[in-house]
A and B are shown apart, each in its own frame.
Chain A
Amino acid sequence: MEHIRTPKVENVRLVDRVSPKKAALGTLYLTATHVIFVENSPDARKETWILHSQISTIEKQATTATGCPLLIRCKNFQIIQLIIPQERDCHDVYISLIRLARPVKYEELYCFSFNPMLDKEEREQGWVLIDLSEEYTRMGLPNHYWQLSDVNRDYRVCDSYPTELYVPKSATAHIIVGSSKFRSRRRFPVLSYYYKDNHASICRSSQPLSGFSARCLEDEQMLQAIRKANPGSDFVYVVDTRPKLNAMANRAAGKGYENEDNYSNIKFQFIGIENIHVMRNSLQKMLEVCELKSPSMSDFLWGLENSGWLRHIKAIMDAGIFIAKAVSEEGASVLVHCSDGWDRTAQVCSVASLLLDPHYRTLKGFMVLIEKDWISFGHKFNHRYGNLDGDPKEISPVIDQFIECVWQLMEQFPCAFEFNERFLIHIQHHIYSCQFGNFLCNSQKERRELKIQERTYSLWAHLWKNRADYLNPLFRADHSQTQGTLHLPTTPCNFMYKFWSGMYNRFEKGMQPRQSVTDYLMAVKEETKQLEEELEALEERLEKIQKVQLNCTKVKSKQSEPSKHSGFSTSDNSIANTPQDYSGNMKPFPSRSPSQGDEDSALILTQDNLKSSDPDLSANSDQESGVEDLSCRSPSGGEHAPSEDSGKDRDSDEAVLLTA
């Protein structure tokens, strides 16, 4: 609290990003965890909540006649522009937020104060919902070839690995420890995924400390052991996910990659995924494109290409496809590493697993996958997503890219996933929100030391409780797309990778399809379920009546007409019914398009002659845009803050802002 210089500023305007002329007047509050903007308008009193941990950058812009603008960019891609009347207030808010957005202690994070009103037992149950040992059992482990090793008990060998690790049976503690000494940060090769059907496996590690000529017998034995654990193949793929040049440069620092001559029966392969710095810059560039005000089609496509973002997504996908093919088609085991083996390696292993195993395409399976390949194997959530103030060069959208890969797959295999787009968006949101403890810290060791499970709640339990919101109506457990491996075309189809506007422009409601097929189908399925029940009840009753021709029990027909279809899409139509800005430069219609030169100003409608019709316009839009409809969609029960928790609620808030 000591960081809040001013808890409340009045007469602040929240600028509508789509039509900047429209701004909502209200009061700005700073709390220990949120920035809250409450609109003055008495009927709606709409609230916009921003978690401090979501704040990415705060920009104080040049003061104008109307006040001092403050631009807040969020890690979930929301952009908030406030205009604060007094420069001093603005400065106070700015200074406060700078500090609040960069906590220095874990205890400052929201998850330590967040209280969803669950008792201790419920909280504990939440944490055991996703159980990795169960997952290894599901894979068929331990078995004749793989065993659980306790070599990392108390994190003795590698402090960024979990304590429970599966290694080949023939890998003795001596081999493991020897190999760990030859690997960056002692991240020795361990099992990530075991493919029951043919004994092939995906293993992961960090780069070997090979330098220009160093070798390590134990490390060579370790790879040998991995190969032997797969009787079906006489070689192991070693996939270095870095561009060759980067890997070679590492040799000068005593690191590097495996020399095929030293390891028997390996096939070495580079897959050029760029490093975290390139990815960070790429996202930055793409977000700049998303932020452009009324860009032309060329601005957008050129900017998107220039950002390189989709090329990077494709590189990650390609690596995942390569590994999935090696495992399922060639029956070969694969060892994956990058430099430290916690970024690109996590991406690639999880994409490959997702392609190979339908279990990971279910709601629970996907949670397990993130728990396994990301959380347990020491993906540095704190550093990558800047939960605590730290080195900005450590920040990179590594898991964002993985989440996008999943979305790209969902677009190509619409029936293959049990969950929908909203599920991915909410996971992304919570990786940054720090509302739940799952993604805190950089390793399991740190989390245990902090006693995360005793002091915070698990996101997985929260998502599971609300799973109805996250289901894909097209998913059916017996559908062909939900069986076995997903096969992507082998020919390079670049056009398969598309810009994900549902993620990166998700707060620009007007840009999204105005009617959700997913929600519509879910509503139909819900009704179907009711109909099935009613049908059963009716049949029963009918039978009874027919049996007992003259009965004394007067059957009262339940006249509950199931909701008609027309109800399914109405809430969407309300947004549908508000025109957007078609005149190009964010002025109220009509004004010139950017393509028009200055030469014909006489022909352009002046603002003045439009004034007269403006009230009319807004009257129409109020009456028809169904603002009421939207605002009565109350935030999900239990949570007091609409923005902190469910993107859907927050979105509906936003939609109201757009239509108002």
Chain B
Amino acid sequence: MEFAELIKTPRVDNVVLHRPFYPAVEGTLCLTGHHLILSSRQDNTEELWLLHSNIDAIDKRFVGSLGTIIIKCKDFRIIQLDIPGMEECLNIASSIEALSTLDSITLMYPFFYRPMFEVIEDGWHSFLPEQEFELYSSATSEWRLSYVNKEFAVCPSYPPIVTVPKSIDDEALRKVATFRHGGRFPVLSYYHKRNGMVIMRSGQPLTGTNGRRCKEDEKLINATLRAGKRGYIIDTRSLNVAQQTRAKGGGFEQEAHYPQWRRIHKSIERYHILQESLIKLVEACNDQTHNMDRWLSKLEASNWLTHIKEILTTACLAAQCIDREGASILIHGTEGTDSTLQVTSLAQIILEPRSRTIRGFEALIEREWLQAGHPFQQRCAQSAYCNTKQKWEAPVFLLFLDCVWQILRQFPCSFEFNENFLIMLFEHAYASQFGTFLGNNESERCKLKLQQKTMSLWSWVNQPSELSKFTNPLFEANNLVIWPSVAPQSLPLWEGIFLRWNRSSKYLDEAYEEMVNIIEYNKELQAKVNILRRQLAELETEDGMQESP
């Protein structure tokens, strides 16, 4: 297919663009295969450069022959284009619709994008499982890397290399895989160096209604416990929901078969419930007419903050099991690709100082989201303005980022990255020139040959010039476990993302700049003082030598 077929009108003059916080501009609208560009002809600068894949929905309106297209983006921005000429307007609208909903991944922009920067470090090789494993292996010999999933045959949503208990051989893993949803046998997610406790994750056990059991599964899980120790299984579903899945072949661990484990049920919502929550929240944020009470009631009705609270609470509970109870845990929901990953990754933010650094957080996303098989392609296909009710779209990753922001807000000095870093990740998960978030798992990414054909987001982010935008000036390495508050009073709306296009951030940006200046100036002085001290010391020793007989 050629993009040209989809672009009936590549260029329209005298288009007026309306955007939040900017005066309307008139210019020429151009459509390319992947971008919608508006350039005001006066000074030849682009006023708008929008990826088609960032477009969530469009509306069109006509007043006489003046057409208006309202573009609703996946990053929640709403822009309006006034296009003279009904035919042009219709053509543009249908092109945008077609180009923003391309079926084939290989037609997406990352396959066409040519970077304008020099790649210093190829992000595709920045976070290899072997390297991650080495971080543990100095502390423990109880775990090994398994290549059982080399061809993605045992578990299609797992990466080729996973970490498993040393005492369990690949044959056993294959058997366990048949007993776990999607073949997702329990693997190591996190090793707590302080006390050797671990977080494992998996899919639900396929016990079904007749209580099937799997000796290898029990053996694998027990192999992670130290003598005389007990562990916890955190099921991210309510008991009720977990019980219902038995009818469909799923289920949960029966205590009779796992006597050393205690099960805790939490209830983290999934799929369309989350998607509807996001839709309602963004609707409330965009509604400027309501009075104060209506705003709070809409915020409440969206349930977004309820989900945040539930996810954070579960993550804190998991972290508490590890650090305070000294017990290992296994976490799963149904598939083990959504709420499970929210909990395992947030628990690591709480427990592990490294995951609060930029590199560490990137590694966490690579490990716990990308390689762990969170289906980004499906989940992020549509955002808050979607009108198709697909079952698999859900802001799971956005909820995770929001939870990270909540912790960051409570511990503003303990993170190496700032809010902009989280916003950037949100944007790229939904629309990007990079291949990182394409596909639903490693197997799909392999087939798409993303490493060869596209650029990794990390290659771009980890350039010093980009990193400086995402670095938190307040950061002071904090080696402690950080325990966030989950009280409703402590969990506000993430304005930086949900009110980003509804209120000007001018004064807040100025405050951030001021903060950076204060700290930069301090560092500058520090450096100057150090140089002078050295000079002085040198001079003084010289003097001393000259003086001494």
Q: A494-B291, A551-B543 are in contact. Are A515 and B317 (CB under 8 A)?
A: no
> Residue of B at shortest CB range from A567?
B476
B511 proximal to A (CB < 8 A): yes
Question: How far is B285's CA from A499's CA once the two chains are assembled, in angstroms?
Answer: 17
A125 proximal to B (CB < 8 A): no
Question: How far is B309's CA from A297's CA once the two chains are assembled, in angstroms?
Answer: 7
Question: How far is B297's CA from A610's CA once the two chains are assembled, in angstroms?
Answer: 40
Interface pick from B147-155, B447-455, B458-466, B489-497: B489-497
* Interface pair B240/A577, CB less than 8 Å apart: no
Residues of A within 8 A of B262 (CB): 603, 605, 609
* Interface pair B292/A494, CB less than 8 Å apart: yes
- For A305, give its contact among B297, B481, B504, B540 (CB under 8 Å): B297
Question: How far is B510's CA from A416's CA once the two chains are assembled, in angstroms?
Answer: 10
* Interface pair A521/B239, CB less than 8 Å apart: no
Q: A474-B511, A550-B543 are in contact. Are A566 and B476 (CB under 8 A)?
A: yes
* Interface pair A584/B313, CB less than 8 Å apart: yes
Contact with A along B273-299 (1 / 0, CB 8 A): 000000000000100111111111101
B424 proximal to A (CB < 8 A): no
Contact with A along B400-412 (1 / 0, CB 8 A): 0000000001111
Q: Give the secondary structure class of B's interface.
A: helix
* Interface pair A493/B264, CB less than 8 Å apart: no
Can you identify 13 A-B contacts, CB atoms within 8 angstroms? A297-B305, A301-B297, A494-B290, A505-B487, A520-B413, A524-B522, A525-B522, A542-B532, A545-B540, A580-B484, A584-B313, A605-B262, A610-B325
* Interface pair A301/B296, CB less than 8 Å apart: yes
A46 proximal to B (CB < 8 A): no
A36 proximal to B (CB < 8 A): no
B480 proximal to A (CB < 8 A): yes
Task: Give the number of residues in A that approach B within 8 Å (Cβ atoms).
Answer: 103
* Interface pair B537/A577, CB less than 8 Å apart: no
* Interface pair A511/B289, CB less than 8 Å apart: no
Interface pick from A328-336, A354-362, A423-431, A587-595: A587-595
Residues of A within 8 A of B478 (CB): 569, 573, 576
Interface pick from A68-76, A241-249, A306-314, A338-346: A306-314
Question: How far is B325's CA from A604's CA once the two chains are assembled, in angstroms?
Answer: 15
Question: How far is B296's CA from A599's CA once the two chains are assembled, in angstroms?
Answer: 34
* Interface pair A577/B510, CB less than 8 Å apart: no
Question: How far is B522's CA from A150's CA once the two chains are assembled, in angstroms?
Answer: 54
A479 proximal to B (CB < 8 A): yes
- For A505, give its contact among B413, B489, B539 (CB under 8 Å): B489
Residues of A within 8 A of B387 (CB): none
CB distance from B444 to the nearest CB of A (A): 35
Interface pick from B4-12, B109-117, B162-170, B512-520: B512-520
- For A414, give its contact among B482, B507, B532, B537 (CB under 8 Å): B507
Question: How far is B292's CA from A64's CA once the two chains are assembled, in angstroms?
Answer: 43
Q: A301-B300, A498-B492, A613-B326 are in contact. Are A515 and B413 (CB under 8 A)?
A: yes
CB distance from A606 to the nearest CB of B (A): 9
* Interface pair A596/B488, CB less than 8 Å apart: no
CB distance from B145 to the nearest CB of A (A): 32
Enumerate chain B interface residues (CB-CB to A < 8 A).
230, 232, 238-240, 255, 262-267, 285, 288-297, 299-300, 303, 305-306, 308-309, 313, 316-317, 319-321, 323-326, 409-414, 474, 476-478, 480-493, 495, 499, 502-504, 507-508, 510-511, 514-515, 518-519, 521-522, 525-526, 528-529, 532-533, 535-537, 539-540, 543-544, 546-547
* Interface pair A521/B518, CB less than 8 Å apart: yes
> Residue of A at shortest CB range from B252?
A603
* Interface pair B316/A582, CB less than 8 Å apart: yes
Question: How far is B296's CA from A112's CA once the two chains are assembled, in angstroms?
Answer: 45
> Residue of A at shortest CB range from B531?
A538
CB distance from B16 to the nearest CB of A (A): 21
Question: How far is B543's CA from A551's CA once the two chains are assembled, in angstroms?
Answer: 8
Interface pick from A24-32, A439-447, A529-537, A629-637: A529-537
- For A499, give its contact among B295, B412, B489, B525 (CB under 8 Å): B489
* Interface pair B514/A479, CB less than 8 Å apart: yes
Q: A302-B297, A589-B325 are in contact. Are A576 and B504 (CB under 8 A)?
A: no
Question: How far is B308's CA from A520's CA once the two chains are assembled, in angstroms?
Answer: 28
Across the A-B interface, the 6 shortest Cβ-Cβ residue pairs: A300-B488, A414-B511, A305-B296, A301-B300, A494-B295, A311-B292
Question: How far is B319's CA from A578's CA once the two chains are assembled, in angstroms?
Answer: 12
A562 proximal to B (CB < 8 A): yes
Residues of B within 8 A of A551 (CB): 543
Q: A413-B507, A491-B288, A494-B292 are in contact. Are A520 and B489 (CB under 8 A)?
A: no
Q: A600-B265, A613-B326 are in contact. Are A513 and B411 (CB under 8 A)?
A: yes
- For B292, give its contact among A294, A412, A497 (CB under 8 Å): A497
CB distance from A396 to the nearest CB of B (A): 20
Q: A554-B543, A597-B240 are in contact. List 15 more A-B contacts (CB 8 A).
A: A297-B309, A311-B292, A414-B508, A495-B499, A497-B292, A513-B411, A538-B536, A550-B543, A557-B537, A562-B526, A577-B481, A580-B487, A599-B239, A603-B265, A613-B326
Residues of B within 8 A of A531 (CB): 522, 525-526, 529
A463 proximal to B (CB < 8 A): no
